[in-house]
């Protein structure tokens, strides 16, 4: 898998709280991210021990630390700065969020990043959601008029 991601030009990014995982697993995560860090194709995010509220809390703490150390002023805090302190920094926000299993909620997943994302809901459970279903979701998305908050 490690060589395959890089050979396919896929950047692998593992997001989530990593403080409580073993050193061996953390080293493996860091290794795969290092191997694929310069890939410019698809970005494959793995949400491992991820929670959206925890991500926002992490970003706030990072920014507060920068204010405390006089790296930035409170007046410097804006949406761009917050985005740049999220786990997905440097990535575009998702265009389409596909929610399977008939659930009609985001389940604490990417609350900051999903604000202008289009949602598609399916009653199928994830293992049964196949290529035809994905193409249907994309076709539905293509019909939409994205307003991006306007």
Distance, C-alpha 113 to centroid of its chain: 7
> Residues 111, 13, 138, CA angle at the centre, nearest 5°?
60
- pLDDT tens readout for residues 106-134: 999 999 999 999 999 999 998 999 999 99
**pLDDT, tens digit (0-9, with 9 covering 90-100), for 65-101:** 999 999 999 999 999 999 999 999 999 999 999 999 9
Q: What is the pTM of this model?
A: 0.83
> pLDDT band at 1, cuts 50/70/90?
very low
DSSP string across 93-116: PPSEEEE-TT--S-TTS-TTTTTT
Q: 3-state SS string over 4-60? A: HHHHCCCEEEEECCCCCCCHHHHHHHHHHHHHHCCCCCCEEEEECCCCHHHHHHHHH
Per-residue confidence at 53, pLDDT binned at 50, 70, 90?
very high
pLDDT tens, residue by residue, 10-52: 999 999 998 889 999 999 999 999 999 999 998 899 999 999 9
């Amino acid at each position: 898998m490690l060589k395959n991601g890089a050979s396919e030009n896929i950047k692998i990014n593992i997001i989530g709280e990593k403080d409580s995982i073993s050193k061996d697993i953390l080293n493996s995560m860091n290794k795969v991210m290092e191997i694929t860090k310069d890939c410019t194709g698809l970005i494959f995010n793995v949400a491992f021990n991820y929670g959206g509220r925890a991500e926002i809390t992490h970003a706030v703490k990072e920014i507060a630390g920068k204010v405390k150390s006089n790296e930035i002023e409170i007046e410097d805090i804006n949406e761009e700065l917050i985005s740049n302190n999220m786990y997905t920094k440097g990535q575009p926000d998702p265009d389409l969020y596909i929610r399977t299993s008939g659930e009609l909620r985001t389940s604490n997943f990417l609350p900051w990043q999903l604000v202008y994302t289009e949602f598609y809901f399916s009653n199928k459970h994830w293992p049964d959601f196949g290529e035809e279903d994905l193409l249907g979701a994309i076709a539905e998305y293509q019909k939409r008029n994205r307003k991006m908050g306007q």
